[in-house]
Amino acid sequence: MIRAAVIGATGYAGAELMKLLINHPQVSHVAAATRSYEGIPYSQVYPNFISLHDDVCLAPELDALADEYDVLFLSLPHGLASSAVTEKVLSKSRIIDLGADFRLHDADTYEAWYRTSHHGRALLPRAVYGLSEIYREYIAGASLIANPGCYTTCSILSIRPLINARLIDSSSIIIDAASGVSGAGRKAQTSTLFAEVNESFKAYGVANHRHTPEIEQELSIHEKITLSFTPHLVPMNRGILATIYASVPDTVSLDDVWTAYQEAYSDEYFIRVRQPGDFPETRHVRGSNFVDIGFTIDERTRRVIVIGAIDNIMKGAAGQAVQNMNISFGFEEKSGLDLIPSMPL
Amino acid sequence: MIRAAVIGATGYAGAELMKLLINHPQVSHVAAATRSYEGIPYSQVYPNFISLHDDVCLAPELDALADEYDVLFLSLPHGLASSAVTEKVLSKSRIIDLGADFRLHDADTYEAWYRTSHHGRALLPRAVYGLSEIYREYIAGASLIANPGCYTTCSILSIRPLINARLIDSSSIIIDAASGVSGAGRKAQTSTLFAEVNESFKAYGVANHRHTPEIEQELSIHEKITLSFTPHLVPMNRGILATIYASVPDTVSLDDVWTAYQEAYSDEYFIRVRQPGDFPETRHVRGSNFVDIGFTIDERTRRVIVIGAIDNIMKGAAGQAVQNMNISFGFEEKSGLDLIPSMPL
Amino acid sequence: MIRAAVIGATGYAGAELMKLLINHPQVSHVAAATRSYEGIPYSQVYPNFISLHDDVCLAPELDALADEYDVLFLSLPHGLASSAVTEKVLSKSRIIDLGADFRLHDADTYEAWYRTSHHGRALLPRAVYGLSEIYREYIAGASLIANPGCYTTCSILSIRPLINARLIDSSSIIIDAASGVSGAGRKAQTSTLFAEVNESFKAYGVANHRHTPEIEQELSIHEKITLSFTPHLVPMNRGILATIYASVPDTVSLDDVWTAYQEAYSDEYFIRVRQPGDFPETRHVRGSNFVDIGFTIDERTRRVIVIGAIDNIMKGAAGQAVQNMNISFGFEEKSGLDLIPSMPL
Amino acid sequence: MIRAAVIGATGYAGAELMKLLINHPQVSHVAAATRSYEGIPYSQVYPNFISLHDDVCLAPELDALADEYDVLFLSLPHGLASSAVTEKVLSKSRIIDLGADFRLHDADTYEAWYRTSHHGRALLPRAVYGLSEIYREYIAGASLIANPGCYTTCSILSIRPLINARLIDSSSIIIDAASGVSGAGRKAQTSTLFAEVNESFKAYGVANHRHTPEIEQELSIHEKITLSFTPHLVPMNRGILATIYASVPDTVSLDDVWTAYQEAYSDEYFIRVRQPGDFPETRHVRGSNFVDIGFTIDERTRRVIVIGAIDNIMKGAAGQAVQNMNISFGFEEKSGLDLIPSMPL
């Protein structure tokens, strides 16, 4: 049994972490830490937690928290984690950072896309990229885990087996994705007010979204890959769908694609590959840690079309963070994550 | 460990039951039965169940199912259960009926409001009204449990303590309630199409909704009560809120109201009474079996205003059904129901 | 032809006013004024206006605007209008104030409910309450029109004929209402973020909402009326539904109620009274200036149930403001308002 | 002044046509015809039309209607129009068909994609493809106009200028689009129930959607084009967004793209081309006949990304149908269509 603290516990990913950790069989105690609501009962911020977690929120002081908790989850705006995490903190507690600061191996790339300085360059080599299914062996025992982004988790896991098996033209990849509004966070801002988002659909971050270099980093297995990534905003709370296009040589068959996915994922509990031509919807995974993947080859254009679906707050954030905690501490990987997707409702 | 079958497993309440039962620690095996999809894998109807419940749907034959399952949940349109349940079935298995057929003690009242004949009059005396917190002692060991309606559960639990304590004018009760669209079921019909419901709000069943006599039956503790009940439709998937008005004598204080709720519910895990003036929202209970209740006295009008919130598919249907199963079989009452409401998302 | 300016043109009511005025056949020129976006093209704030209104936003200086515009619409947070409107401004231009400052005849009542000082007491006697159908003769030629609130417009018009005809027990009135999210305005705040509002339903302002004294003021025809008013928040952009309960003496029949509505509204273009037992939904009036009213008498409880529906941004704000402009300037009352409700979509 | 009838007036496109035609200054009389509600007042089907159009629905007999109406709009499931339209009907009245039957020049292609026989091959040569901005000169005076599909209108208008100007690699076109739920029609079916669509996002018709050949037909200007088209379903009532990718040679600049759009559309009232890097959202055009187009070149991948937005029921159906009526009869093209998009609400 371990003790866990969530720093930034009142954001959307933080609140989901609280729920998962409170019900986790290997976690004996959970603390919520947050600057905005320090000293206020967590259940006052989120009344759904009444009688379930009435403790007051703690100050987000990593050093002090590291003395008392075995693992610290950081759910903070980018730039804060790289300043706050230190060797001293890492010597006392494990860090699972849900932000972007330690995801990119190259700090220059980070600074170019995020337009800010990186304050934790020295720690970058210690960070493990927490894409659970791909880097499981590195995550085990790791003390600084960079939890992947939501779009990136969905995109990488969906198309990576085909790149790995050299089945597609790697210069032809286009990722057209869409996310529920929770991806924009809980900050008070006009652009995510109900009446601004409801009954509309839009693209954003066209040709410059910050998840692009993260996706490219993880897909550049055999060669450096540059791709198109366009996110869209869907009037719903949670869920991500990525529709991915890539050209396939005439020699590649649907069977080859199927085989590539089977070789990659047949033993993975959280990845469910559909029969060819059967595609996932975001509700198929809502509220769970699953990644559902469907695919077909369009013979008219000789493009493979792959569609991946995740819950952006679960496998795209809190769920994968707990999965990484499980791996890091040697718990059963699905411990606390055996949740059935909430479909139909 | 028991074995459970859900008849009508592809309706919304049925599918929620499947999720709860599959994850229930005292249930060793779960079967889905349904006329419409007999022989088809359940996960084909609901792809979120892929790898979690791929068994084919069984025929909804109660007699045969009763041979193999310890408890049968019936989630059927009204009128079907009263025909299908027999002494023979009850001798072999316990029945938890989520429909309306066995809720009203008086078959004539049933026939008047439902405008159909009652086909199970002989069994009515054996049926226990499954409002768990009120009839717990009768539910224990019962073989025919009539699971209450969604609006009724919310309404009765919210106002009953004040009637019980004789704090309100029982002729003055008005219940103005609202429900998410799942309450209308999964039947293909124009009136619940997305574009017919989205971006609108309406009342329905004004002065004639069938849950009215059920609420009146359960609130007529000291005397026969007649009340106003008006349901509304909210463009959301799940949740019920009941806003209840009643006149209070000048001698009744807010403290008296508070005390009445404490006496009724202070030991109830699933009922959370808020501080005076603090009111629940449906998201505070979404995805859980909780009933949240808030209240105030409007001194200007000397009316008490009580607001109750439940998840219509959980405490209003599948959740309470599992709670009743737990009580009936002597399991811990919250077994399989220790779910944290899904707020914020 | 007149010239009109909208002060606070980027709020939701202000933007709706812009649309109505730009297409109004008697308005030759429309200006948008707003502090936040002064100097910026209006179509940059609201790209739907590209090519339709690309003028820059003006400063919200009433005195200067009154020199150039025949009518000024004020769509400002409460407290601002009462400070900004002066005799001088009124001598040059007509004011239609969509805020609360001039609605209540009694400044003390205003200060008690709004918890702020009233800065325009001297002008109160000049203000006409702009409930078009009721005060038409006073609105004609008026220079200071207090446009009613959204809940108040719907509530007053729905129940007033029955009070006027002395058909109901005036101490028994309960108004249970619900609004779309636009009623909360466009201010950046956490509580109206998409993911906080979507998939939930709640009451707010229970027993203390500021529209209560306004409703009571206008319903106190024969005697001072005190009533219950409870607003709720619906996850939709626009629309208000008010469900109103009142006790009726045994001598009152459904015909009496019908007659009262006919006498009050049979000549009113914007008020559509339904056949007994037929009730409006908010989509029946969405995007229009209509008020739809349905009613029945519940014989079991001897209560009349009246349901009124309006579009909160139209008849509840911008639409009625234009209707008042039409009346004030002697235009045809439905000029620029002959819009068909947007149902089904 | 002309007389117009809508056959299939209770579908979503049909109802929108009714609204547009009732308010159209050149239309003296409008009739609703529909098999399902024949003899029933239209305002009983759609209560928003009470007092605005209370006429009963007529039988959908084209021959009889053609005797009395100058133009017949057909809003029917595919396959019905090609059987019902005859030379005789065309000799008496003009037909604007909102269905698919006369859109594809090649009946074999129609039969291959729609998997049904084409019953009006003889009339195909007389049909004009009603993409107003492209075929205006043919539409003028035409008696059989095939109104384009919703996805097709958005896709074709968005990318056509770049193909016309030979700026893109025509083998590289990928159209990733999304639509509101009204696009699926008003048929009672489980898949478009509120609770099945709300809080989810999915692709459908992957690699086989029937709008594909229509888009390809209209984009094959210089050469036969084959492209990828993937539609998605958004939980909203109305709106279509198309995100289009195509490779551009290194010699092509952003200025070249800008120039191509200006040459194509600078005189078009209904097409609004945005500044480079500024992209439309569906709410920017909601409730209007506008097509908003944004674009950029991603220098990293040398792909142009074009995003087009329309209201699927307006420019994608009823709006363009009225625009075509205007052109056909020589009315001002925007007559009855000068509607400001409904943003922000």
Q: Could you tell me whether strands A240-247 and A303-310 are parallel, antiparallel, or unpaired per DSSP bridges?
A: antiparallel
Q: In this structure, what is the dihedral angle of CA atoms C218, C222, C228, C233, given to the nearest 10 degrees? A: -30
CA D103/CA D93 separation, integer angstroms: 19
Residues of A in contact with D286 (CB under 8 A): 199-200
State mean pLDDT over B27-38.
97
D50 Cβ under 8 Å from any chain C Cβ? yes
Residue type, D144: L
CB distance D236 to A199 below 8 Å:
yes
C195 Cβ under 8 Å from any chain D Cβ? no
Q: pLDDT tens, position by position, for chain C (345 residues)?
A: 999 999 999 999 999 999 999 999 999 999 999 999 999 999 999 999 999 999 999 999 999 999 999 999 999 988 899 999 999 999 999 999 999 999 999 999 999 999 999 999 999 999 999 999 999 999 998 999 999 999 999 999 999 999 999 999 999 999 999 999 999 999 999 999 999 999 999 999 999 999 999 999 999 999 999 999 999 999 999 999 999 999 999 999 999 999 999 999 999 999 999 999 999 999 999 999 999 999 999 999 999 999 999 999 999 999 999 999 999 999 999 999 999 999 999
CB distance C96 to C145 below 8 Å:
yes
CB distance C254 to C274 below 8 Å:
no
B313 Cβ under 8 Å from any chain A Cβ? yes
**Residue range A15-65, pLDDT digits in tens:** 999 999 999 999 999 999 999 999 999 999 999 999 999 999 999 999 999
Residues of B in contact with C176 (CB under 8 A): 174, 176, 230, 243, 245
Instruction: Determine which one of B58, B150, B163, B313 is catalytic.
Output: B150
Residues of C in contact with B197 (CB under 8 A): none
Q: Could you tell me whether strands B94-97 and B144-146 are parallel, antiparallel, or unpaired per DSSP bridges?
A: parallel
Residues of D in contact with C47 (CB under 8 A): 274, 278, 280-281, 284, 292, 343
Whether the per-residue pLDDT at A5 is higher than 90: the answer is yes
DSSP code, position A186: S
State mean pLDDT over A329-335.
98
Q: Using the beta-carbon criterion (under 8 Å), do C194 and A190 form an inter-chain contact?
A: no
Q: Which of C168, C180, C184 lies closest to C304 in space, CA to CA? A: C168
Closest Cβ–Cβ partner in C186, C187, C194 for A192 = C194
Query: Helix C132-139 vs helix C150-164: angle between axes, to the nearest 10 degrees?
Result: 90
State mean pLDDT over B99-105.
96
H helices of chain D, in order, are 12-22, 42-45, 62-68, 80-84, 87-92, 107-114, 132-139, 150-164, 194-197, 211-219, 254-265, 319-329
CATH superfamily to which D2-126 belongs: NAD(P)-binding Rossmann-like Domain (3.40.50.720)
- Is the bond leading into C344 cis (omega within 30 degrees of zero)? yes
D272-302 b/e (C-beta count within 10 Å ≥ 16 → b): bbbeeebbbbbbbbbbbbbbbbbbbbbeebe
Closest Cβ–Cβ partner in C239, C298, C301 for B201 = C239
CB distance D270 to D315 below 8 Å:
yes
Q: Using the beta-carbon criterion (under 8 Å), do A238 and D199 form an inter-chain contact?
A: yes
Predicted local confidence at residue C129, as pLDDT = 98
Adjacent-strand bridge partners of A309: A241, A292
Q: What angle do CA A117, A118, A120 make, to 5 degrees?
A: 150
Closest Cβ–Cβ partner in D48, D340, D343 for C343 = D48
CATH 3.30.360.10 fits C150-310, yes or no: yes
Q: Which of D157, D295, D274 lies closest to C51 in space, CA to CA? A: D274
Three-class SS string for B295-330?
A: EEEECCCCEEEEEEEECCCHHHHHHHHHHHHHHHHC
B70 Cβ under 8 Å from any chain A Cβ? no
Main-chain dihedrals φ then ψ at residue D176, nearest 5 degrees:
-110, 115
Residues of B in contact with A292 (CB under 8 A): 47, 50
Q: Which of B193, B27, B292, B102 lies closest to D184 in space, CA to CA? A: B193
Predicted local confidence at residue D37, as pLDDT = 96
Measure in Å the smallest separation between the Cα of D198 and chain A Cα atoms.
7
CA B101/CA B115 separation, integer angstroms: 12
Q: What is the three-class DSSP state of C62?
A: helix
Predicted local confidence at residue D174, as pLDDT = 98
Predicted local confidence at residue A78, as pLDDT = 87
Q: Using the beta-carbon criterion (under 8 Å), do A237 and C189 form an inter-chain contact?
A: no
Adjacent-strand bridge partners of B187: none
Predicted local confidence at residue A141, as pLDDT = 87
D235 Cβ under 8 Å from any chain B Cβ? yes
Paired tokens of B194:
């997305």
A341 Cβ under 8 Å from any chain B Cβ? yes
Residues 6+ apart with CB under 8 A from A31: A3, A4, A5, A6, A55, A58, A65, A68, A69
Q: Using the beta-carbon criterion (under 8 Å), do D342 and C48 form an inter-chain contact?
A: yes
CA C166/CA A153 separation, integer angstroms: 66
Paired tokens of C39:
């100097």
Q: Using the beta-carbon criterion (under 8 Å), do B198 and D235 form an inter-chain contact?
A: yes
Residues of A in contact with C12 (CB under 8 A): 195
B342 Cβ under 8 Å from any chain D Cβ? no
Instruction: Determine which one of A57, A146, A150, A227 is catalytic.
Output: A150
ipTM over 0.95: yes
C-alpha of A70 from chain center? 22
Q: Using the beta-carbon criterion (under 8 Å), do D201 and A300 form an inter-chain contact?
A: no
Closest Cβ–Cβ partner in B174, B305, B343 for C245 = B174
Q: What is the three-class DSSP state of B30?
A: strand
Test mutation, A202, A230, A304, A307, chain D, max D CBs within 10 A: A202
Q: In this structure, what is the dihedral angle of CA atoms D3, D8, D11, D15, given to the nearest 10 degrees? A: 10
pLDDT mean across residues, chain A: 97
State mean pLDDT over A4-11.
98
**Residue range D134-143, pLDDT digits in tens:** 999 999 989 9
Paired tokens of D40:
């029933």
- First-to-last C-alpha distance (Å) of chain A: 33
**Residue range D6-18, pLDDT digits in tens:** 999 999 999 999 9
Predicted local confidence at residue B78, as pLDDT = 87
State mean pLDDT over A137-164.
97
Closest Cβ–Cβ partner in D15, D281, D340 for C49 = D340
A200 Cβ under 8 Å from any chain C Cβ? no
Q: Using the beta-carbon criterion (under 8 Å), do B188 and D186 form an inter-chain contact?
A: no
Predicted local confidence at residue B141, as pLDDT = 87
Closest Cβ–Cβ partner in D207, D227, D279 for A305 = D207
DSSP code, position A271: E
Q: pLDDT tens, position by position, for chain D (345 residues)?
A: 999 999 999 999 999 999 999 999 999 999 999 999 999 999 999 999 999 999 999 999 999 999 999 999 999 988 899 999 999 999 999 999 999 999 999 999 999 999 999 999 999 999 999 999 999 999 998 999 999 999 999 999 999 999 999 999 999 999 999 999 999 999 999 999 999 999 999 999 999 999 999 999 999 999 999 999 999 999 999 999 999 999 999 999 999 999 999 999 999 999 999 999 999 999 999 999 999 999 999 999 999 999 999 999 999 999 999 999 999 999 999 999 999 999 999
- Is the bond leading into B41 cis (omega within 30 degrees of zero)? no
- Is the bond leading into D344 cis (omega within 30 degrees of zero)? yes
Residues of B in contact with A54 (CB under 8 A): none
**Residue range C76-100, pLDDT digits in tens:** 988 899 999 999 999 999 999 999 9
B287 Cβ under 8 Å from any chain A Cβ? yes
State mean pLDDT over A304-312.
98
CB distance C147 to C321 below 8 Å:
yes
Q: Using the beta-carbon criterion (under 8 Å), do B47 and A288 form an inter-chain contact?
A: no
CB distance A155 to A179 below 8 Å:
no
C283 Cβ under 8 Å from any chain D Cβ? yes
Closest Cβ–Cβ partner in D52, D283, D340 for C23 = D340
CB distance D93 to D70 below 8 Å:
yes
> From residue D213, how far is each of D166, D170, D210, D316 by CA, in Å?
21, 15, 7, 17
Q: What percent of chain B has pLDDT over 90?
A: 97
Predicted local confidence at residue B248, as pLDDT = 98
D24 Cβ under 8 Å from any chain C Cβ? no
**Active site annotation includes D150:** yes
Query: Helix A319-329 vs helix A12-22: angle between axes, to the nearest 10 degrees?
Result: 50
**Residue range B117-135, pLDDT digits in tens:** 999 999 999 999 999 999 9
Strand order from edge to edge, sheet including B174-179: B202-203, B228-233, B174-179, B240-247, B303-310, B291-298, B271-273
Q: Is the pTM of this model over 0.90?
A: yes
Q: Identify the residue whose tokens are 């730009």.
A: C22
Q: What is the three-class DSSP state of D32?
A: strand
Q: Using the beta-carbon criterion (under 8 Å), do A345 and D195 form an inter-chain contact?
A: yes
Paired tokens of D7:
């056959």
Test mutation, B17, B48, B49, B52, chain A, max A CBs within 10 A: B48
CA C131/CA C149 separation, integer angstroms: 9
Where are chain D's structural domains? 2-126, 150-310
Predicted local confidence at residue A274, as pLDDT = 98
**Residue range B132-160, pLDDT digits in tens:** 999 999 999 899 999 999 999 999 999 99
Q: Using the beta-carbon criterion (under 8 Å), do B279 and C202 form an inter-chain contact?
A: yes
Predicted local confidence at residue C105, as pLDDT = 96
Q: Which of B1, B2, B13, B10 lies closest to B58 in space, CA to CA? A: B10
A112 Cβ under 8 Å from any chain D Cβ? no
> From residue C278, how far is each of A339, B118, C159, D177, D329 by CA, in Å?
44, 30, 16, 40, 41
**Residue range A58-84, pLDDT digits in tens:** 999 999 999 999 999 999 988 899 999
Whether the per-residue pLDDT at A318 is higher than 90: the answer is yes
Residues of D in contact with B237 (CB under 8 A): 194-195, 198-199
Q: How many A×C Cβ pairs under 8 Å?
A: 62
Q: Which of A139, A157, A191 lies closest to A268 in space, CA to CA? A: A157
State mean pLDDT over B35-55.
97
Predicted local confidence at residue D78, as pLDDT = 87
Predicted local confidence at residue B219, as pLDDT = 98
Main-chain dihedrals φ then ψ at residue A4, nearest 5 degrees:
-130, 145
> From residue C266, how far is each of B283, C152, C162, C258, C262 by CA, in Å?
43, 21, 14, 11, 5
